[in-house]
Amino acid sequence: MKEKETENKKGISNWIDERLPVFTFINHNLRDYPTPKNLNYFWNFGSLAGVTLVIMIVTGILLAMQYTANTEMAFDSVERIMRDVNNGWLLRYIHMNGASMFFIIVYIHMFRGLYYGSYKYPREILWMLGVVILLLMMATAFMGYVLPWGQMSFWGATVITNLFSAFPVIGDYIVTFLWGGFSVDNPTLTRFFVLHYLLPFAIVGVVALHLVALHQFGSNNPTGIDVKSEGDTIPFHPYYTVKDYLGLGVYLIVFAFLVFFAPNFLGHPDNYIPANPLQTPAHIVPEWYFLPFYAILRAVPDKLLGVLLMFAAVMVLFFLPWLDKHKIRSANFRPFYKQFYWLFFINCIVLGWVGAMPAEGIYVLISRVATLYYFGFFLIIMPFLSKFEKTTDLPSSISAAVISEKFDNREPSSSESYVK
């Protein structure tokens, strides 16, 4: 009798929770979850990336219901989505621009990590899982761009798959294998469609691991100092749910502006011409988010070396935790690293810019210098600074940093806000 009473008191959510601890899990990870109290708006980008992934999957599933993966019909089926399907134009424009937004978000997320040393002990695996997500995103985005089967789709697919032909002996076999034939054709399109649908779910899986790894030690913060006491943290809800929600609102405004007012701004008009295997467009460029890597590829006069360097440009990120072994995480307390970091940031923009320019004249020289700095930053400057850079005084704790920022009349940098 008494047992029954207590059980009644507990209610249905507790009945479920006892058997399947979903509510405990949510409470632990989204509510009470202790979070450093000094996170600035750069810490919004993780949740924004998660939201974007969901947007991409939802719109992608709906698009897949209308799309036909066949070289004869693919282009027309996309045009049908644009013209005949109810709100099909909206669906496609969200998905198309969503890819760009996803990369913007993730790139900012990564630059945040790079600035505040979020990849350092004990978050090495967290960072590496992030790089895995980036790789999966790149593969997914590339294959998705092929699906409309326009000129840029076709020739982009041809150029990118041909990268593998640079490898001696096995290169041609790899390319034939990727194509499932002797050129980019129907077998290539169907497998790209299948993989484009499959890989996002792999991304979801890695994101889950990314979150598990994140919650193991909790978020890094702008000071880069470990959480030392409960006073350094605030519960995730309502403080960061509200902050994330505000960020989401601003983000969706930008996203919606792109979708409704400039849906083709980031695309290439040539992709509205059906694929023609007999004619290459005069000026082939990848989507903007691949441009820096494309610039590195073209900076090198040797085919194999260019391809290897381009892959290395992503792969080097895996080794970041061991290239930068400096004890201090945040660039705020590393005057030299901070300057090289901003130079690196500008350098990436420059790489993206020359990637969009024709590979001739001054652009080649610029891309070479920029490529040199890209790798120099990781392979020379980082290890060097880890050894020799002296640091400014670290605050004794997150709370101390927040208080001194507030009361010492020290000018707080615009990117750093704090929660009361």
Partner 1 sequence: MSEKNLKDKDLSDSVDEEKRDFLFITTAGLAVAGGAVTAFSLIDTMNPAKDVLALSTTEVDLAPIEEGQSLTVMWRGKPIFIRHRTSEEIRTANNTSVNELKHMASDESRVKNPKWLVVVGVCTHLGCVPLGQKIGDNKGEFGGWFCPCHGSHYDTSGRIRKGPAPLNLEVPPYDFVSDEIIKIG
* Residues annotated catalytic, as ranges: 215, 219, 243-244, 287
Among 1, 5, 9, 86, binds partner 1 (CB under 8 A): 86
Give the shortest CB-260-to-partner 1 separation in angstroms. 12
Among 5, 84, 408, 411, binds partner 1 (CB under 8 A): 84
Is residue 58 involved in binding partner 1 (CB under 8 A)? yes
Residues 328-367 that bind partner 1 (CB under 8 A): none
- Enter the tokens of residue 261: 């007012």
- Enter the tokens of residue 372: 């040199």
| Closer of 3 and 230 to partner 1 (Cβ) | 230
- From 55-63, 188-196, 206-214, 274-282, give the range in contact with partner 1 by CB under 8 A: 55-63
Site string for partner 1, 220-239 (x = CB under 8 A): ----------xx-xxx----
Is residue 54 involved in binding partner 1 (CB under 8 A)? no
Dist CA 327 CA 237 (whole Å): 31
Site string for partner 1, 89-118 (x = CB under 8 A): -xx---------------------------
259-294: burial string, b at 16+ Cβ within 10 Å, e else: beeebeebbbebbbebbeeeeebeeebbbbbbbbbb
Give the shortest CB-96-to-partner 1 separation in angstroms. 15
Is residue 80 involved in binding partner 1 (CB under 8 A)? yes
185: region left, alpha or beta (phi > 0 left; psi from -120 to 50 alpha):
beta
- Residues whose CB is less than 8 angstroms from the CB of residue 385 and which lie 6 or more positions away in sequence, other chains included: 324, 326, 334, 336, 337, 340
| Closer of 66 and 190 to partner 1 (Cβ) | 66
**Which of 366, 374, 369, 355 lies closest to 316 in space, CA to CA?**
374
Count residues contacting partner 1 (CB under 8 A)? 21
Give the shortest CB-201-to-partner 1 separation in angstroms. 19
| Closer of 237 and 368 to partner 1 (Cβ) | 237
Residue tagged 């391809």 (tokens): 307
Among 16, 30, 65, 403, binds partner 1 (CB under 8 A): 65
- From 11-19, 54-62, 288-296, 350-358, give the range in contact with partner 1 by CB under 8 A: 54-62
| Closer of 237 and 338 to partner 1 (Cβ) | 237
How many CB atoms are located within 10 Å of the residue 224 CB?
22
Do 338 and 331 touch, CB atoms closer than 8 A?
yes
Residues 243-262 that bind partner 1 (CB under 8 A): 245
**Which of 83, 54, 53, 52 lies closest to 66 in space, CA to CA?**
83
Give the shortest CB-62-to-partner 1 separation in angstroms. 5
Give the shortest CB-234-to-partner 1 separation in angstroms. 5
Residues 361-420 that bind partner 1 (CB under 8 A): 420
| Closer of 217 and 245 to partner 1 (Cβ) | 245
| Closer of 91 and 370 to partner 1 (Cβ) | 91
Residue tagged 């990637």 (tokens): 355
| Closer of 27 and 66 to partner 1 (Cβ) | 66
Give the shortest CB-86-to-partner 1 separation in angstroms. 5
Give the shortest CB-252-to-partner 1 separation in angstroms. 9
| Closer of 94 and 128 to partner 1 (Cβ) | 94
Give the shortest CB-85-to-partner 1 separation in angstroms. 4
Residues 10-39 that bind partner 1 (CB under 8 A): none
Question: 54 exposed, middle or buried (CB, 10 Å; 0-12, 13-18, 19+)?
Answer: exposed
- Enter the tokens of residue 344: 């690196």
How many CB atoms are located within 10 Å of the residue 352 CB?
19
Q: What are the beta bridge partners of residue 234?
A: 35
CA torsion through residues 366, 137, 53, 158, sign? positive
Interface positions with partner 1 (CB under 8 A): 58-59, 62, 65-66, 80, 83-88, 90-91, 230-231, 233-235, 245, 420
